[in-house]
Every structure is written in C-alpha cells, then in structure tokens.
C-alpha cells in the first residue's frame, strides 16, 4: 500500500492547522510507524488573528499542536507569505517548494486537494503539483473548502490516531469559534470515511499521482 512503501512524507500546509485538519490522524499513524514527517507552513496568518487574541497566538498554537503530534521542531519549516494573497506570490512559493524538495527528498507529498477553492489552498495545490510532479502526490480533504472530493485513497485510523488529531486541533484555542473545529464534526467525518471502507474511522485522500517502483 502507498503508506507502507514510503519513509519521508512532506506535507504542504498553506496555514497553521491545515495539516492537522487534513490528515492529523494519518500523521499520528505514520509517526507511530516510524515514518519521517516534514511540514511546510506558508503563512502564520497574523492578519487573521481573532479579536481578543494577541497577534502571534496562532504561531504559538501551531507549535503546541505540532508538538502534540510528535513532529520534531526541526522538521517544521515556516514561511510568512501574506494570508489570502498567495496568488500574488506564486513564483516565490514555487521556488520555496523546489528548495525544500532538494533538501528533504520526500517519498510522498500531501497537498490541499484539487477541488479546494480557497485561494491560498488552490495556489499550494497548483504549485505543489508543478514542483513535485515526479513524486507520489495525495490531496487532503477540507470539506468546508471543497467543491466535491474524490475519495480514492483511504487510511484506516485507530481511535488513538483520531484522538491525537482531536488533541492537536484543540491546541488552536483562537479558532474554536469555527464550526469545523468541533470534535463532533471531526469525528463525524472520520466515521463517514471509515464507514465507506467498512472500518470505524479513516481519513481519505484525492489520488493525484502514484508512481510504482
């Protein structure tokens, strides 16, 4: 299976919390199985800081969440492109991806799905496919941004993996006003995907490119 034959996984996350929402349970499972996980975050989203929170809180929440998922700090690469303005920085973003490709040399790259309509997510998807066109590529699911989603790859989760995802997302106290942050929603989606493949919980992915060795 695709996850069995890889050792280095690179996750391209437009913003803090995207990796956790899209594949937090899978991150937990992969780390448990001894895989190396790298996360590139392209914006710290300071302009999106909610009222009553200090600027910089999202960055601190991000580090707490990554620590909860046991991602080493040295495996976390953070840039600070302006949130909601990624299309204007397309070339610079592509160059950062190519740079990290040479450094990390991943076996698998996870990006926002092709059906994600958020402008920042769409840019990471498009430039990610350009930078990593010779890599295994999966698109992760964020239903509130997706116009349709092709669930062709499923990763079965145990309850502990889902709990790790829930705990990681709970680190983002500043985002708890968003409906999709609720444990009920996150669990319901994992249950739906699990039911589709006769298991209790799962995360699903868009299959963008799979290269057989």
- Is residue 185 assigned to a domain? yes
Give the pLDDT of residue 212. 83
**Domains identified in the chain, total number:** 1
Give the pLDDT of residue 4. 85
The CATH number for 146's domain is: 3.40.50.10320
| Each residue's pLDDT tens digit, 4-59 | 889 999 999 999 999 999 999 999 999 999 999 999 999 999 999 999 999 999 99
- Is residue 165 assigned to a domain? yes
- Is residue 67 assigned to a domain? yes
- The model carries a pTM of 0.97
- Is residue 1 assigned to a domain? no
Answer for the pair 121, 19: CB distance below 8 angstroms, yes or no: no
| Each residue's pLDDT tens digit, 155-177 | 999 999 999 999 999 999 999 99
What residues make up the domain containing 182?
8-209
- Is residue 3 assigned to a domain? no
- Is residue 110 assigned to a domain? yes
- Is residue 82 assigned to a domain? yes
- Is residue 2 assigned to a domain? no
């Amino acid at each position: 299976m695709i996850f069995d034959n890889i050792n280095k996984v690179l996750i391209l996350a437009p913003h803090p919390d995207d990796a956790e929402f899209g594949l937090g349970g899978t991150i937990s499972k992969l780390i448990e199985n001894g895989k190396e996980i790298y996360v590139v975050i392209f914006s710290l989203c300071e302009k999106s800081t909610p009222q009553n929170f200090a600027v910089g809180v999202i960055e601190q929440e991000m580090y707490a969440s990554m620590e909860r998922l046991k991602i080493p700090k040295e495996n976390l690469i953070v840039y600070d492109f302006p949130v909601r303005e990624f299309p204007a920085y397309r070339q610079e973003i592509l160059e950062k991806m190519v740079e990290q490709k040479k450094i990390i040399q991943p076996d698998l790259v996870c990006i926002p799905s092709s059906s994600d309509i958020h402008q920042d997510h769409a840019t990471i998807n498009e430039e990610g496919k350009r930078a990593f066109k010779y890599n295994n590529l999966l698109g992760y699911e964020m239903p509130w941004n997706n116009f349709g989603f092709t669930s062709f790859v499923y990763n079965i989760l145990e309850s502990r993996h889902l709990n790790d995802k829930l705990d990681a997302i709970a680190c983002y106290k500043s985002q708890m006003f968003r409906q999709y942050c609720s444990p009920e929603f996150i669990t319901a989606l994992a249950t739906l995907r699990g039911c589709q493949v006769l298991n209790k919980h799962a995360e699903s992915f868009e299959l963008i490119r799979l290269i057989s060795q």
